[in-house]
Structure 1
Amino acid sequence: MDVEYADALNQAIRLLSLRHRARAAALLAPLGLHPGQEALLLELDRTGPRIQAQLSEALGCEPPSVTLMTRKLEASGHIRRGPVPGDKRASVVELTESGKALADQVKQLWRTLAEETVAGLPAGTVAELPGLITAMSENVDARSRPPRAAR
C-alpha cells in the first residue's frame, strides 16, 4: 500500500469515527445521555443483569469508566446496582423500567444514526459493512494486544 493511499484511508477512518461520535452525542443529548452510556444501556437490554466487570469487558472500556457511567445512570433512575452474593466487591447492574424505556428510545436513535451514515450507498455495500468493519476492528485489536508471554 502506498503512503498516499494509507494516509487517505487512515484519515477517512479517523474522520468517520469523530463525526459519528459527534452525531451520536447530538442525538443522545436530548435524552440526557452522553456517548458510552447508550452502549451500557443497550448491553443490559440485550443480556439482562450483568456484573460491572462483565460490562467493562463487553463494552471494551476500563472498569472506572463503567463505574462512573453506572453511578450516573443509577442517579437518573435508569439502572439499579445490587450486591453479588458471595462477592462484596462486585455489583450486579440491571435496567429499571425507566432504563428499559430509554433503551427503546436509544434503539430508535441508533437506527436513525445508521440510516444517516449509510445514506446513498448501494444496498450491497451496506450489507457488507458490518462484516468489513468488524474485520478491520479485529485487525487493529490483534495488533494492539501484547504478546502472550508479556501478559
Structure 2
Amino acid sequence: MSDTTAPELPNTARHGRLGYAIFQLARAHRGHAAAMLRALNLHPGQELLLMQLFDHDGRTQAELLERVGRDHSTVSKSLRRMQEAGLLTRTPAPHDRRAMVVSLTDAGRALQEPIAGMWRTLEQVSVRDLTPDQVEVFTACAHIIEKSVRDHSRQTPFG
C-alpha cells in the first residue's frame, strides 16, 4: 500500500477535517484530470459537455447547462471554444429560435473513445490502493456528502 499520511492540517481547518480532505482530494484529482485533458486539447469541464452529447447528441444549450450543473457563462464560453475548435455546432432550435441546439461534429464524436480512456485511466489511478469494498463505501459516502452539500447550499452559507 502507498503512503497514506495525510498532509498537515492547518489550525483553521481543525474542525473541518473531512472538508479539508475533500478539498485536497478534489484539487489533486482535478489537476491530474486537467493534465490528461490538455493532452486531448480540451479544458476541464469540456469533457463533461461532450459526454452529455455522446449520450444524446442534439441537446439544447439549456439542457446541457442543467445536466452539467455549471453556470450559464461558463457553459456558453466552453461551447463557444468547442465550436471554434470544430468539435460541435450550435443552431437555433426549430421549436424555439431563441434556444440553441448543440450537435457534435465528426471531430467531436472522434473524442468519445479518448475521453472514455482518460476516465478509465483516472479511475485506475484513483482506486489503485483501494479494495473494491472501499471503492463502494467511498462512492456511497461521496454521494451522500454531495447531496448534503447541495441541499445546504440552497440555504445560507454559514447557517
The equivalent of 1:135 in structure 2 is 144
The answer to whether 1:50 aligns with 2:59 is yes
What do residues 95-148 of structure 1 show as CA deviations (whole Å, max 9, x unaligned)?
11211111221110011111111111111111333322111111100111149x
CA contact 1:52–1:63 (8 Å) conserved in 2: no
CA contact 1:45–1:103 (8 Å) conserved in 2: yes
Q: Pick one of 67, 74, 86 that aligns with 2:83.
A: 74
Residue 81 and residue 106 in structure 1: after superposition, are their counterparts in 2 closer, same or farther (change >3 A)? same
Over aligned residues, Cα RMSD in angstroms?
1.8
User: What is the percentage of aligned positions where both structures have the same residue?
Assistant: 36
Q: Pick one of 106, 114, 119 that aligns with 2:128.
A: 119
**d(CA) in 1 for partners of 2:13 and 2:33?**
30
Residue type matched to 1:85 in 2? Answer: P
Give the number of aligned pairs.
145
CA contact 1:49–1:93 (8 Å) conserved in 2: yes
Query: Please, which moves more after superposition, 5-14 or 137-146?
Result: 5-14
The answer to whether 1:88 aligns with 2:97 is yes
Residue 74 and residue 4 in structure 1: after superposition, are their counterparts in 2 closer, same or farther (change >3 A)? closer
CA contact 2:88–2:103 (8 Å) conserved in 1: yes
Bigger fraction of residues in helix = 1
For structure 2, list consecutive stretches of 5 or more residues without a partner in the other structure: 1-11
CA contact 1:38–1:103 (8 Å) conserved in 2: no
For structure 1, list consecutive stretches of 5 or more residues without a partner in the other structure: none
The answer to whether 1:102 aligns with 2:111 is yes
Residue type matched to 1:72 in 2? Answer: R
Q: TM-score, normalised by structure 1?
A: 0.88
